Amino acid sequence: MSDIVVSVENLSKRYLIGHQSAQRKSDTTLRDAIGREARNFVRKAADLLHGKQIIQGDEVEELWALRDVSFEVKQGEVVGIIGRNGAGKSTLLKVLSRITEPTDGRVRLRGRVSSLLEVGTGFHPELTGRENVYLNGAILGMSRKEIARKFDEIVAFAEIEKFLDTSVKRYSSGMYVRLAFAVAAHLEPDIMVVDEVLAVGDYEFQQKCLGKMQDVAKNEGHTVLLVSHNLNIIGSFANRALLLDRGSLVACGGVREAISAYLSRGSLDPIYVAPQADISSSPHVSRAEVVTSEPNGVHQFGEPLELRIMISHEQPALKACLTLQILNQDRSPVLMTYAYYPDKRFGEKPGRSQLTCRFPNPRLNVGRHYLRVFLSEPPGGIEYDRLECVCPFEVVRTNDTVLWGWRPDHCAYHDDWSWAIANETCSSSEMNLRLPKQMAAVRTVRDTDTKDTGH
């Protein structure tokens, strides 16, 4: 028996979507509108007679959400699926989990498939937490016995023991998501299909779920197909990746290759050029560029980074000072530098100046970053020019692996570190004496966590 558990051959999926025709937009009179409605009615009636689907709008377009996709997955593999919005990732998962039928092609699945396309599918707000565990479990394909067996584990995992018999509608959104995750994390299918669900919920808990899922995948040889926009999750969790682009499979294989193929299709433009209309003779920034290590504004962590600023000054400035800030995704500055040195003056004579700032070993955290540029006289003087949030670029850290990968909201910067760990072993009787105290401490911390995330 081969160990291929998912085999997809020439899979295609077509959707029909309706548009308003250009003519319709120009129909403005009542007579036009009546005529149009009459035509619509006739068309819908004809659709009904032919048993066809009713499509809103008067022009129908075919949309291939998936086109000729073929790949195979072996048992125990964790496969990441990446691609931009509308690339067909979710459609692929829907076909694999038998929710929707392909238009063409064929899929062979060996084993029990569970799909997790949404957290808490079928949760009913009127039912209690306990009841919802059973409901959701059954919807996800668990038997009552299986749920009963894992019930305590699920509740402990979700940390909602106290609210087990409260209607879910009274839950905070954090509690709700935790309970839903907990049920899902205890599924034990042969093949698990997971959509972007891990994007919601509090971060600590997500990590816990990923950990649980990875344990299951590793220890029991289960296969996981995972869609995520978080490349760092894919990078550390998956051992293979598929890249989809407008319905077609463009890369299939190593995670690093797929991620860099994905990033190189990016549209980030880390170059700013002053618009023609804004050009004045007073000193201004005419061009700004972030030189990243990879194309399309992608920068690999640890590689040297260069910022190049071109300043035009037909009218000279007596004293010019250039200040640069690197902003993170929240637009908060994480790094600042300036150029104002007695021996390195610029802008004193009419013309242009090129300023280059080099960071040999930048420690920016992963994620989207921007540049803020000030051109002014030294503090207190005239402000010549100011650019907000220009030159977007993306820092990634895929060349070294940490346990869960990095996320933009982890921190602002990375530093070098080393740890010293001293282990002290003690006898089991000592252990028993110690444990309750420690657990109580952990418990209080978690309770405060709950309050924080609940609102």
Partner 1 sequence: MTHEIIIEAGRAERHYWRDLWHYRELFRVLAWRDVAVRYKQTVIGATWALIRPFLTMVVFTLIFGKLANLPSEGTTPYAIMVFAGMLPWTFFSSALADASNSVVGSANLISKVYFPRMIVPMAAAGVAFVDFAINFIMLVVLMIWYQFVPGWQILFLPAFTVLALLAGLGPGLWLTALNVKYRDVRYIIPFLVQLGLYASPVGYSSSIVPERWRLLYSLNPVVGVIDGFRWCILGGQSQIYLPGFLLSIGVTAFFLWLGIRQFRKMENSFADLI
> Which residues of this chain interact with partner 1, rule CB under 8 A?
1, 15, 48, 53-54, 94-113, 115, 117-118, 121-122, 124, 126-127, 131, 134-135, 138-141, 143-144, 190
Closer by beta carbon to partner 1, 138 or else 200: 138
CA distances to 111, 217, 225, 274, 277 from 189, rounded to whole Å, are 8, 10, 12, 56, 61
Closer by beta carbon to partner 1, 118 or else 245: 118
Closer by beta carbon to partner 1, 142 or else 324: 142
CB of 114: closest distance to partner 1 in angstroms? 9
CB of 34: closest distance to partner 1 in angstroms? 21
CB 363 within 8 A of CB 413: yes
Closer by beta carbon to partner 1, 97 or else 328: 97
CB of 57: closest distance to partner 1 in angstroms? 16
- Using DSSP's 3-state secondary structure scheme, residue 387 falls into strand
- Distance (Å, rounded) from C-alpha 353 to C-alpha 338? 15
| Phi–psi pair at 441, nearest 5 degrees | -65, -45
Closer by beta carbon to partner 1, 81 or else 366: 81
- Distance (Å, rounded) from C-alpha 405 to C-alpha 412? 15
Closer by beta carbon to partner 1, 92 or else 155: 92
Closer by beta carbon to partner 1, 108 or else 256: 108
Closer by beta carbon to partner 1, 115 or else 292: 115
Closer by beta carbon to partner 1, 118 or else 269: 118
CB of 118: closest distance to partner 1 in angstroms? 5
CB of 400: closest distance to partner 1 in angstroms? 37
Q: Which residues of 87-114 are buried (b: 16+ CB within 10 A; e: fewer)?
A: bbbbbbbbbbbeeeebbebeeebbeebb
Q: What is the DSSP letter of 365?
A: P
- Distance (Å, rounded) from C-alpha 73 to C-alpha 92? 14
Q: What is the phi-psi region of residue 318: left when phi exceeds 0, alpha when psi lies from -120 to 50, beta otherwise?
A: alpha
CB of 198: closest distance to partner 1 in angstroms? 15
CB 271 within 8 A of CB 289: yes
Closer by beta carbon to partner 1, 166 or else 450: 166
Q: Which residues contact 68 (CB under 8 A, 6 or more apart)?
A: 10, 11, 12, 105, 248, 249
**Residue pointed to by tokens 């459609």:** 91
CB of 253: closest distance to partner 1 in angstroms? 24
Query: CA angle, 93 as apex, 90 and 98 as ends, to 5°?
Result: 125
**Residue pointed to by tokens 């309750």:** 436
CB of 76: closest distance to partner 1 in angstroms? 13
CB of 280: closest distance to partner 1 in angstroms? 56
For residue 359, the cross-strand partners are: 305
**Residue pointed to by tokens 């009787």:** 429
Strands (E), 140-270: 191-194, 223-227, 240-245, 248-253
CB of 66: closest distance to partner 1 in angstroms? 12
